[in-house]
Amino acid sequence: MTVPQPPSHRTNPKSQWSTLSVHAGEDQAPKPRGAVTDPIFCASTYAFSDTQSLIDFIVEKQPREEYARYGNPTEKTVERKLAILDGAEAAVLYATGMAAVSGLLLAKLSAGDELVIFDEFYQRSREFCENELSRFGVATKIVATGDFDQLEAAITPATRLLFTESPTNPHLSVIDLERFAALGRKHGIETAVDATLATPYNVRPIEFGIDYVVHSCTKYLAGHNDLLAGSISAAAAKIEPLRKFRGYAGTTNSPQAEYLLLRGLKTLELRMQRHNANGQAMAEFLASHPRIDRVYYPGLPGHPNYEIAKRTMRGCGGVVTFTVKEADWRQTARIVDAVRIPQIAASLGGVESLIEQPLILSYYEFTPENRQSLGIPDNMIRLSCGIENIEDLIADLKQALDK
Ligand SMILES: Cc1ncc(COP(=O)(O)O)c(C=O)c1O
């Protein structure tokens, strides 16, 4: 049976963002059997027709598959799409966001090297630096978020990497990435940004001169709270050693999760537009509510990084962190328990709204002094607005706060 062949789609690099997110990185030739979507390649290993073709593959470094720990065709499609969305030459996918964070650090840093991070850093990334990297003789210097004088003062001849998040989780501080990249260049040090909370729709750090962009694709990029994945985008020569290290570490993702990520990426613009609008409206509502003490959302004019966010970001996303006036942890927990639409769960960036009290979810076993030094008060709530109707979400928060 002959299968009708659609005209091959050519992705013009000048295409607008949503065209790129739907089509970029996908095969230009018709897909197998006329399918509109990419197939999932489940094979763990790939056969060669004879010994000579195996030798040719090794000697000529042919771009084909060998063993799935080193990649599969579904994964390559996602990597090409992510690289294009991030404005990078190449990207490498990982099993999780933490595999990407730890993969970057382990592949880049050696005994005697130093790394500088800001004090607002995803707690598990920070613990990895402090508790694990230190075992291999890598020192982590931690400076106040956004303080460029402290950042520069922390640099020594042993510094190999400056690593930040933007916006930070859960405080939503926005870093001036142009300045961050310029500082790295001035000292000949590479820079990395975990842009999980931004996504390439809201900000593209490579355009500011950042060397590595890390994402937990588990969040907005996949967007449906149904898979784990991580990625790093960078220049092709910088991705090559990371991919090699991933082959040793075995932190490759599965073709099934990669396919779901590919599907999620196609609707990224639509979802981000809604997340941005919902986050902004929710932040404005909370800022006007008499029970709310402080709202951490860079889209609010009173936020210390409002100007940087306005200049560098298309929107501020769906995550809104806030504190409840004169509430202890129990009174705060009662609000979390009273909401009906957002579910109490870790993670963010999915179509379903999620809510959590950082004290309980991530810092329950920390001492009060420790939590205070990390800026995690007992009355803090982090809300990840999904893509539900904003009037429903606000009415839900309102009834929980007014109880
Ligand atoms: C900013 C940030 N980076 C990295 C990670 C880790 O991602 P994953 O859970 O996919 O390992 C998270 C997870 O919450 C995160 O918020």
Assess whether 77 and 200 both reside in one domain: yes
What ligand 1 atom has the least distance to the C-alpha of 217?
Answer: 10
Among 169, 164, 146, residue whose Cα is nearest residue 321: 169
Whole-number pLDDT of residue 30: 84
Angle, to 10 degrees, between the axis of helix 268-287 and the axis of helix 255-266?
70
Position 162 in a domain = yes
pLDDT tens per residue, range 10-39: 466 678 889 999 999 998 778 889 999 999
Assess whether 252 and 280 both reside in one domain: no
Whole-number pLDDT of residue 9: 41
* Structural domains of the chain, count: 2
**d(CA 235, ligand 1 centre) in Å:** 23
Assess whether 152 and 297 both reside in one domain: no
Position 6 in a domain = no
Does pLDDT of 218 surpass 60? Answer: yes
Whole-number pLDDT of residue 13: 64
Q: Name the region of 88 (left: φ>0; alpha: ψ -120 to 50; beta: rest).
A: beta
Assess whether 243 and 278 both reside in one domain: no
Position 5 in a domain = no
- Residue 324 φ/ψ, nearest 5 degrees: -100, 130
CA 114 to CA 131: how far, in whole Å?
A: 14
Whole-number pLDDT of residue 333: 98
Tell the residue nearest (CA) to atom 10 of ligand 1: 97
At which of 207, 236, 266 does a domain end?
266
Position 11 in a domain = no
Assess whether 100 and 233 both reside in one domain: yes
pTM: 0.96
Angle, to 10 degrees, between the axis of helix 390-402 and the axis of helix 329-338?
140
Position 149 in a domain = yes
Tell the residue nearest (CA) to atom 14 of ligand 1: 347
- Ligand 1 cavity residues, CB under 6 Å: 96-98, 101, 122, 125, 165, 169, 194, 196-197, 216, 218, 228, 230
Position 70 in a domain = yes
pLDDT tens per residue, range 254-290: 999 999 999 999 999 999 999 999 999 999 999 999 9
CA 69 to CA 87: how far, in whole Å?
A: 26
The β-bridge relationship of strands 139-143 and 114-118 is parallel
- Our separate counts of H helices and E strands in the chain read 16, 12
Angle, to 10 degrees, between the axis of helix 390-402 and the axis of helix 268-287?
30
pLDDT tens per residue, range 166-209: 999 999 999 999 999 999 999 999 999 999 999 999 999 999 99
**d(CA 58, ligand 1 centre) in Å:** 36
Assess whether 150 and 299 both reside in one domain: no
Two tokens at 212?
């590595």
Among 360, 363, 361, residue whose Cα is nearest residue 374: 363
Does pLDDT of 1 surpass 60? Answer: no
Question: What percent of the chain has pLDDT above 70?
Answer: 97
How far is CA 264 from each of CA 126, 214, 219, 260, rounded to the nearest angstrom?
Answer: 28, 18, 10, 6
Tell the residue nearest (CA) to atom 8 of ligand 1: 97
CB atoms within 10 A of CB 76: 18
Question: Are the C-beta atoms of 352 and 225 separated by less than 8 Å?
Answer: yes
CATH number at residue 379: 3.90.1150.10
Bridge partners, 211 (sequence order): none
The domain in which residue 277 lies consists of 268-402
**d(CA 97, ligand 1 centre) in Å:** 5
- Give catalytic residues, as residue numbers: 69, 122, 194, 219
Question: Are the C-beta atoms of 266 and 20 separated by less than 8 Å?
Answer: no
- Residue 37 φ/ψ, nearest 5 degrees: -100, 160
Does pLDDT of 140 surpass 80? Answer: yes
- Residue 140 φ/ψ, nearest 5 degrees: -110, 125
pLDDT tens per residue, range 68-120: 999 999 999 999 999 999 999 999 999 999 999 999 999 999 999 999 999 99
Whole-number pLDDT of residue 7: 39
At which of 266, 287, 319 does a domain end?
266
Calculate the average pLDDT of the chain.
Answer: 95
**d(CA 200, ligand 1 centre) in Å:** 16
Tell the residue nearest (CA) to atom 6 of ligand 1: 97
Does pLDDT of 2 surpass 90? Answer: no
